[in-house]
A and B are shown apart, each in its own frame.
Chain A
Amino acid sequence: MNRSRYPLLVLAPYLGRYRGRLLVGSFMVLLTVIAGMCAPWALKYVVDGLQQSVDGSRLFSYALLIVAISLVEGFFRFWMRRILIGVSRQVEYDLRNDFLAHVQKMSLSFLQSRSTGDIMSRATNDLGAVRMVLGPGIMYSMNTVTLLVISTAILVNLNWKLTLLAYVPLALVSISVKQFGRRIHDRFEEIQEQFSALSTRTQENIAGIRVVKAFARENSEIRAFGILNLEYVRRNVSLIRLWGVFYPLMTALIGLSSVALLWFGGRQVIQGRLTLGEFVAFMGYLSLLAWPTIAIGRVINIFQRGSASMRRILEILETPPGIRDLEGAEEPPDAGGALEIRNLTFSYPSSPRPALSDVSLSVPPGKTLAIVGRTGSGKSTLANLIPRLYDPPPGTVFVDGRDVRGWPLRSLRRRIGYVPQETFLFSDTIAENIAFGLESKAGEEDILSAARVSRVAGDIESFTQGMQTFVGERGVTLSGGQKQRMAISRAVIGSPDILIFDDSLSSVDTYTEEKILRELGKVMENRTTLLVSHRISTVQRADEIVVLEEGRVVERGTHGELLRRGGAYADLYHKQQLEDELSEI
């Protein structure tokens, strides 16, 4: 079983869940085909009967029989479609759920290495193509095979020589389908390649449109696009040439079997070896076979696209989550929120230079540590390593005396209240957003008190629907400061042992910041807090302040100590005073 060659095999267990329904569905295929087979047979009786002398009432009952057969066939066909296509939708549902569950487990570095659109298109477009295999693909295949087997049995029984003759063109059909299939596949891939070249070019042009315009290069861009566009058309045309032959050829080959039947069958009727009724029935069977035979081409197409798409989905599903529970992970006995970092050196996989070099820190339970530094100094990286958004090297980051890598991911993260640098809110109500981290439904009062801590409660009251106001496109547009304050409420509502603020007050003015910090003071009193900021005003009251520069600790101490030292911190302090003065001019 080679998964990379036959990615569709992955679907077997998914289908297995619905084997009962699939069984009934296949049975329905069989019944549909059998019922369909009866119709030409009824015609045989009609034609043969008309040559002898049947009476009108007999004729009427034949007519009724024909309607009855189609009713029965229709009944089975209805269930066949409902069950088989229904199952494909069920599997699509299951697969999409699993896809999301897997994506949820992926590390940030994985998610950031791919565009959101790319991941989404796998969960929608590609999954859609796979669904086509599971539904129409499987249904048409089963239908065609059953039809071929049964009608062959009937026809051979009727007249084997004639059958052989009529089937020669049909055999040609399947051979050419195989021949064409391969080539169509190749040309299709060439088209896809060019399509992505065209997309890339467009993407680059739009992303760099300012440069294009600044240098007045619009026309040369259009020229370059035109060339790729032409090549794309050329490749499409080469596929069209194949299709152009394929479908008419199929129709022609099927037509040829009709001629074969007309010529040899007609002779046999004249020679009295075949009744005219049988001759007409034969024609009926051939026309029953025509459509499914042509459908083979389509089914092949469905399978090819489906298997390419499945491969793309597997690229995600088979990437193991980079950050997960290690074996033997368990919570340490004593909680309290002690945080320790020992000789931490960390580099991102994409960069040769370490983001943090030899950082050691220790925060006793209930104390506040502040980290200041310029953009790119490694502050956020440090904050991200504690809840294991990125995995630190073993033996470097400890919470409550245990290496964070030895913690169960879920309980580690539940201990931590985190306010990220860039606020992300869901398009949901304000209440839901604040209570996001809670397992059970949060009480109105809890949400409100969390909102008070970050001083966003007043803002919320001013919205007409209060806590039930929707955030985002369908609701209010919040200011950057309001968003940050909501994110703070979201972090404190779960009463975590450790609070991490990753530059979380950058969008509020110093006046509001002061008020928030005062409120937070009560919450921070008995919690370990890590305060990351580039603003001195935020950090000056911390128990200890650490200054990071290019991933290294260059100074540490209290606000007063650091000012007296007159180093990097003092310099930053004076600059920010200047900035404040500037903004007040």
Chain B
Amino acid sequence: MLAIIIDDSRAMRLILRRIIAKIGFDAVEAGDGQAALDTIAELTEPPQLALVDWNMPVMNGLEFVTRARKDPRLRDMTLVMVTTESEQSQIVRALAAGAHEYVIKPFTEDSMIDKLALLGLTPTGANP
């Protein structure tokens, strides 16, 4: 299983990579939404999971989610916003744009794994 981690912080990408490795994901990384789209375009198969920060330079996470949702090739990719944007209105915007779940920073390893499990992303299987 492959995921893409989109965050302008290398430290945060590393933390997320460590966590999702525990449920069987390999990961590619990108520092902003546009870089993520470029990375995905080069893959033979799109990732099954995208963990997306909101506030990033070049292209923010909300725009990435909006564009990803319009791309038929990425129809089956699970989109999870991982961000400090914790206002209800922002969560609603992200979900309306097509995000499947929303994780607020700071998060613990357990809370992230629990959230992904709710989406069917567990060590024993991918998104049903």
Do A and B belong to a common assembly?
Answer: no
Chain A residues close to B by CB (< 8 Å): none
